[in-house]
Chain A
Amino acid sequence: MVVITGILAFMVSPGTWPKTGGFFDGFFNQTYWPQLFMRTTLMFAIAGAYAIAVATRLKDAGTRSFVIKAASIWGVAGTLLGVALFFWYLATLPAAAHDLVEALVPGSLKAGAILAAGLLVLYFLFAAVKPLSIRMVPALVAILVVFGGIWSAERAREMIRKPYIIPQYMYSNQIIGHEIAPKGVKAEVPVINERGILAFSPFVPRELREVTEGNVRQAGSMIGLIECSACHAFGTGGLRPMGQMVRRTELKDADSAEGFLSALDGYPSMPPFVGTAEEKRALAVYLASLHE
């Protein structure tokens, strides 16, 4: 718990690491302690739910009642403390992450987490009062509720990392957005804007290194693969497919698509477009072609 919390904390907020490059500065950032205590208390709640499920198989009623009662007290205390600590955690999140919680995290995920916590408190309270009435199937359903809550909260945590893999450093498409001076790492964005993403990236075949009249759409597709496919599926299925997104944002022609790409500079959840003006045009042509 002590170790994994540091890694998870760093993924949302690197603390002073971008300035100092210090390992522990990133590890013990301002979201570390609330998250450590929150995860630890919720761990007891999860263990409580499991212990009750196991205890329903006990033959002796006295033992069963004792175990379920004890487990449910851990469960209710863990859940309530975890919820309280969650608000502390929320308060320590960086401003950008806060904006994303408001703008991006869908109501269903918020509802999932709140509902799971509420249901579990009621379940544990009921189990504490009437331990022998809990049977195996409801106990297993309670574990499913636990998973629903974990899924909602962790999914939301992943969403508020956008548009970065490592905030203040590397975008989700692995392009380095900002320098990390103490490690001698320079930002890639200015270089790519000057030289072009097609010339900069590995795996680009020779005939697509430069945008020409004959290869605009293909070059655009290659740029899309490099800059967008980390989050957007290229086919019709999969996660956030490109074609579907293009239709939803109504990028009917290359001009509107290009306008959209330029606007990414100030977009909270997607990295900016990087590359030359011709490359931006090529990607716009490709995107518009997906509208049909």
Chain B
Amino acid sequence: METVAMIKSLQDPMGLPFYPFLFQVLMVLTFALHILFVNFALGTSFLAVYGRFKGDPGWRRLSPGLAKAAPANVSMAMLLGVAPLLFVQVVYDPFWYASNLLSAAWVIGFIFIMMAAYSSLYVFYLRGKKGDRKGWVLFGAAAVVLFLLAGVIMHALGYQLLQPEKWQQWYMTGSAADTSGLSLHAFQLPRFLHFIVPSLALTGIFLMLYAWYFKDRRDMDGGHLAWTGATGAKMAFLFTLFQALIGFWWLLSLPAELDFLHSPFFLAGAGLGIGLLLLLYAAQKDPVKYAVLSGFGAFCTIFAMSYAREALRMSYLGRFGYSIFDYKVNVDWPSTLLFLGTFLMALLIIGYLLTVAFQSGRAEGPYEAGPALHRLGKLSIVLLLAWIVVVAGLGVAISLRNYGA
């Protein structure tokens, strides 16, 4: 079967429940958020371990805080990873499905690798709190290595997906099918590094934000905070520069026929990346003042780069005449409205929870939310109840219509 026909036959015959553009935007947006926390998770775990080994007093002091932040970053990364995983299955199902089957053992192994990594990270953090025995650092180091391995798996799955012309040769030896799923078939070093190196740049910005967040807390050591902010700013600048170099290496290693250099998505991403580099250069003077702007700039860059990655995928798969915009559409308003309504409501409720967490961390001593925030809290509860009433009411009405006497 020709590659094009093979891909077509793997699509969902039912089509998409809404126009592909919506899925694409949400996929890229949630991927950008996901990869941000993947980078925070990798960076904070690595630096927590590094800080333990390094004799420097600033690092020794920072290490426990990073070890505490790391598991939270990992759980955010996992939580935010679900959404892009589901969206990619909606619009790129033939590719994601095939790539997963080709390396099925690694896909299942990924779950256990993440569980092992997460547990070791917790052992490292909890034991580290109790005393300063060096042996426990090994758990932190093991977590970092396992996270990198998880990254290798996800990278391979995402990269195998782009090469449907090779699937059959990976899967068949003569006329015998290899159904073991034990191999990872494709790896591209610059592409992999481009997802990993930003960990240190973004964790640098994370440290700048840390210094900014606690700047008004008089019970915290101002000198240490200033050191943290300055170290973060230095790291952020250096590794963003390094990241740009790797980006060009990747760009040069792409198939020339894709002509990615002239893609407007790439140009936007690269332009923002250079802007971020200049911003971080300026931030060296006053990391705390530039922290929020740097964080915002970094997220814009990641979002644009994530869209560039999607545009690259579109040109890779365009070689086979595949476009998500040709996908059969069977618009299903009820499920789409349920999804969007729930999504918007959740944003508001999560916004409330985040605001409470944000304010309470900044307060010295016991924290009391203001009246406006209290009203938002009450609104959150009312919304949740209203959601249940509306959905259950809909259910009752539909059940009566379909099964009523």
Contact = CB atoms under 8 A, between A and B. Distances in A.
Contacts of B13: 176, 185-186
A139 to B, nearest CB: 23
Contacts, number: 76
B395 A203 contact: no
A222 interface: yes
A225 B168 contact: no
Interface string A23-40: 111011010110000000
Interface residues on B, range: 20 to 34
Nearest to A209: B1
Nearest to B15: A183
A176 to B, nearest CB: 7
B171 A25 contact: no
Given A25-B402, A28-B398, A225 B388 contact: no
A184 interface: yes
Interface string A198-238: 00111111011100000100100110010001000010000
A119 B56 CA distance: 59
B179 A229 contact: yes
B14 interface: yes
A203 B402 contact: no
A222 B176 CA distance: 8
B6 A218 contact: no
A260 B14 CA distance: 32
A22 interface: yes
B179 A24 contact: no
B210 to A, nearest CB: 34
Contact of A203 (B17, B167, B175, B338): B167
Interface string A170-209: 0000001000100111100000000000001111110111
Contacts of B176: 218
A2 interface: yes
B402 A16 contact: yes
A15 interface: yes
A226 to B, nearest CB: 10
Nearest to A180: B14
Interface stretch (B280-288, B297-305, B328-336): B328-336
A183 B175 CA distance: 37
Nearest to B173: A205
A33 B399 contact: yes
Interface residues of A, number: 35
B388 A2 contact: yes
B179 A234 contact: yes
A218 B175 CA distance: 7
A168 to B, nearest CB: 14
A28 B6 contact: no
Nearest to B7: A202
B172 interface: yes
Interface string B361-405: 000000000000000000000000000100110110011001100
Contact of B330 (A2, A33, A183, A215): A183
B168 A205 contact: yes
Given A15-B402, A202-B6, A202-B10, A22 B334 contact: yes
Nearest to B6: A202
Contacts of B334: 22-24
Interface string B1-38: 10001110110011101000000000000000000000
13 contacts: A23-B334, A23-B335, A30-B403, A32-B399, A184-B328, A185-B13, A185-B14, A201-B9, A202-B1, A202-B10, A205-B168, A209-B1, A222-B175
Q: Sorted from nearest, which 9 A-B pairs have the closest CB atoms?
A: A202-B6, A23-B335, A28-B395, A23-B334, A28-B398, A185-B13, A183-B14, A24-B398, A205-B172
Given A32-B395, A186-B13, 4 more contacts: A23-B334, A30-B402, A180-B14, A202-B5
Interface of A: 2, 15-16, 21-25, 27-28, 30, 32-33, 176, 180, 183-186, 200-205, 207-209, 215, 218, 221-222, 225, 229, 234
